[in-house]
Amino acid sequence: MSRNPKRQPTFTTERLKVRPFRTSDVGVMHALYGDAHNVRFRSIAPTRTREESRRQLREHLGYRPNRFAVWAIERRDQRGVVGMINYHRRELRQKRVDVGWLALPTAQGQGYMTEAMRALLRHVIDDLGVHKVEAQIMKANKPSVALARRLGFRLEGGPIRDRWLIDGEWRSTMLYGLIAGEER
Ligand SMILES: CC(C)(COP(=O)(O)OP(=O)(O)OC[C@H]1O[C@@H](n2cnc3c(N)ncnc32)[C@H](O)[C@@H]1OP(=O)(O)O)[C@@H](O)C(=O)NCCC(=O)NCCS
């Protein structure tokens, strides 16, 4: 049984507003997704043009809570998006989702992603009834491993070989998991 809200919720935390993306976010979307160095550990290759970023943004605008949902992270003390979070690959029967995260380099090292992800974990666990949250992370992606551990995820397995195909190259990942009640 899913307990989906009718509309995609916005989460307000101490320093952040975590809200659905809008068509006007294309500029920041391109800054986020087009930064080849920053996205080198993601499962999706960097976007090369603003048009490609616009296409990605279009996919983020629809709210399909049984499958995935994407949020833009804004600081409350200044205008502008500083990152994104999502859940995807939702398995209704197994009460399981995967999560993903990405912050602008200028917004890293300040705890914003921990704050945003805590709100998302509360939502998927308390509102959607999710029991298991998973994250696929490349071994070399140290900041993501640290973030996952800070949130309460544990290393469950890996390397999961050739998990992602990125620009024609296969990448292996480590599997991190969190069971409802383990979030910190
Ligand atoms: C993964 C990623 C989001 C982590 O960003 P981050 O800034 O390290 O994570 P947080 O926002 O939670 O900040 C934590 C850092 O802020 C520091 N910090 C400062 N003020 C803080 C506060 N008030 N609260 C918590 N942490 C704070 C922490 O000490 C920590 O720094 P440290 O790692 O040097 O100890 C970022 O590296 C990123 O976007 N990477 C590229 C995308 C990517 O690889 N995505 C994942 C694919 S699987």
Confidence at residue 26, expressed as pLDDT on a 0 to 100 scale: 97
pLDDT at residue 1 tops 90: no
Mean per-residue pLDDT over the chain, rounded = 97
Q: Report residues whose beta carbon is within 6 angstroms of any ligand 1 atom.
A: 38-39, 41-42, 101-103, 108-114, 137, 141, 143-144, 146-147
Residue 10 CA to residue 95 CA, distance in Å, equals 22
The ligand 1 atom nearest the CA atom of 38: 41
Q: Best of 14, 43, 47, 108 to mutate for ligand 1, by most ligand atoms within 8 A of CB? A: 108
Ligand 1 centroid to Cα of residue 90, in Å, is 25
Counting from 1 in the atom list of ligand 1, the atom nearest the Cα of 41 is 44
**Higher per-residue confidence, 3 vs 139:** 139
Q: For residue 39, what pLDDT is reported?
A: 97
Report d(CA 114, CA 59) in Å as an integer: 25
Q: What is the largest CA-CA distance in the chain?
A: 42
Q: What is the pLDDT of residues 139-178, one digit of tens each?
A: 999 999 999 999 999 999 999 999 999 999 999 999 999 9
Distance, CA 103 to ligand 1 centroid (Å)?
Answer: 8
Q: pLDDT class for 3, splitting at 50, 70, 90?
A: confident
C-alpha 24: how far from chain center: 20
Using the atom order of ligand 1, give the atom closest to the CA of residue 141: 44
Q: How far is the CA of 99 from the centre of ligand 1 (A)?
A: 15
For the chain, the domains span 11-179
State which fold the 11-179 domain adopts. Answer: Aminopeptidase (3.40.630)
Nearest-CA residue for ligand 1 atom 25 is 111
pLDDT tens, position by position, 83-115: 999 999 999 999 999 999 999 999 999 999 999
Token pair listed for 104:
């602008």
From the CA of 15, give the closest atom in ligand 1. 23
180 has a pLDDT exceeding 80:
yes
DSSP structural state of residue 68: B
Give me the pLDDT at residue 2, please: 57
Which tens digit of pLDDT belongs to each residue from 24-52?
999 999 999 999 999 999 999 999 999 99
| Ligand 1 centroid, distance to 126 Cα (angstroms) | 24
91 CA → ligand 1 middle, Å? 28
Read off the amino acid at residue 11: F
